[in-house]
Amino acid sequence: DYVEPTITNIVGSSVKNGVGVAEVGESYSISATITDSGCAESGASAVDKAYIYYKLNDSSITYYTAQMTKSSGSTWIGNIPAAFIDSEALSKGLVFNVSAVDLDGNGRISDRELADVQDNTEPDFTAHTPVIIATEQEAITITATVVDKDSVTQVNLVWRERNDTGLSPQYGPWYVATNTSGTGNTWTFEIPAINSTLDGIDYYLNASDPSGNVAFEGTISSPYHINIPDVLSPEISIRTPNPVPEERTAGESLTVSVYVSDRDLTFSWTGNETGTVQLGYRQYDGTSGFTYIDMTHIGGDSSSGSLGVWEGTIPGEVFNATGFARVDFNVKAIDASNNERITSDYIIHVVPG
């Protein structure tokens, strides 16, 4: 047998792109029909081995080798490995030939074949732990690990204030923070402390590669949400009487009004108030505790840092000079998150009428 094998029907394909187009990071499958005249007695094919010789489509003269295996009948298959089809292959393309040798050592190599290389695969968010809770007025750090078969061009953090406090509008505008230089495969962002408010934060991430493929972690319609709980107590200051008198005539009541401010709708003048403001008083005997009564919201809005006015009255019978020469009072405010503030005790001496 002095006749070389015959090589026909050479087809290259990728799972992602189909026939004739390789995909970055994916092996490129090559099949060919290889026959040989074989021995005269049996007429059976006597193809012994087949190979793929491949390289980048450039001026280099070095070829790499991949062995083919017989699939069925006269069909032989092999692969250019995924590791070879990288960013450089994306820019240059592939060149390959198929060769075959029969049992008698006769060999044939096919004409040169070309394959385009594309990147149609999105980057991959391989690690991201969603931030679901943060501390008010502290910067929020968000990190993600992103990889791509080619490279990652940039990662964007898209975020907005949510207005969990119930104020209008419900959502703030979207902001975009762009990072084009991750550390290795890790990309880090920081939402400023000034935006870390009780409104909470919505966010999602997207990543792109040089071919324009974009991947998302969260979406504009289904973002991650960061809850920022209220951990600060309301603020209280005496409005009237100011200054608080040091003495009170026995039998005279005392009306006390205070300013209260908080950063949510707990003490809202127009909203559904869930906070309480109370006036506490006692006839001082060294052992008795305070009696607390609810104060009335008479004006202003205590939400979102504004000043609301609350008023309550200590009954005149509390100022009883008989046996009690002193009355103490304070004011307590508790918001919906159970943050509490109590003023210092104010001392009033009772004098006979």
Q: What percent of the chain has pLDDT over 70?
A: 91
Q: What percent of the chain has pLDDT over 90?
A: 75
Q: Which residue has the tokens 């209008």?
A: 168
Whether the pLDDT of residue 31 is over 80: the answer is: yes
Taking the alpha carbons at both ends of the chain, their separation in whole angstroms is 136
* C-alpha gyration radius of the chain: 40
Q: Among 129, 119, 101, which Cα is nearest to 203's?
A: 129
- Identify which of 160-164, 294-298, 327-331, 349-353 has the greatest average pLDDT: 327-331
Could you count the other beta carbons within 10 Å of the beta carbon of residue 316?
Answer: 14
Whether the pLDDT of residue 1 is over 90: the answer is: no
| Tokens of residue 263, six digits | 């950063």
Query: What is the reported pLDDT for 269?
Result: 64
Query: What is the reported pLDDT for 352?
Result: 85
Whether the pLDDT of residue 40 is over 50: the answer is: no
Mean pLDDT, rounded, for 219-244: 92
Whether the pLDDT of residue 275 is over 70: the answer is: yes
The DSSP bridge pattern shows strands 254-261 and 308-314 to be: antiparallel
292-347 tens-digit pLDDT: 999 999 988 766 556 889 999 999 999 986 667 899 999 999 988 899 999 999 99
179-206 tens-digit pLDDT: 998 899 999 999 999 999 888 999 999 9
User: Which whole-number Å values give the CA distances from 149 to 85, 175, 181, 210, 318, in the listed order?
Assistant: 9, 28, 17, 11, 80
Helices (H), ranges, the chain: 87-92
- Global pTM? 0.70
Q: Among 91, 75, 80, which Cα is nearest to 12's?
A: 80
Task: Please say whether the beta carbons of 7 and 98 come within 8 A.
Answer: yes
Query: What is the reported pLDDT for 44?
Result: 56
Mean pLDDT, rounded, for 69-86: 96
Cβ neighbors of 146 (< 8 A, separation 6 or more) are 123, 124, 125, 126, 152, 155, 182, 185, 187, 207, 215
Task: Please say whether the beta carbons of 310 and 296 come within 8 A.
Answer: yes
Percent helix, strand and coil across the chain, each rounded to 5? Answer: 5, 50, 45
Q: Which residue has the tokens 């040089």?
A: 210
Q: Is the dihedral of CA 35, 39, 40, 43 positive or negative?
A: negative
User: What confidence category does residue 42 fall into, taking pLDDT thresholds of 50, 70 and 90?
Assistant: low
112-148 tens-digit pLDDT: 999 999 999 999 999 999 999 999 889 999 999 999 9
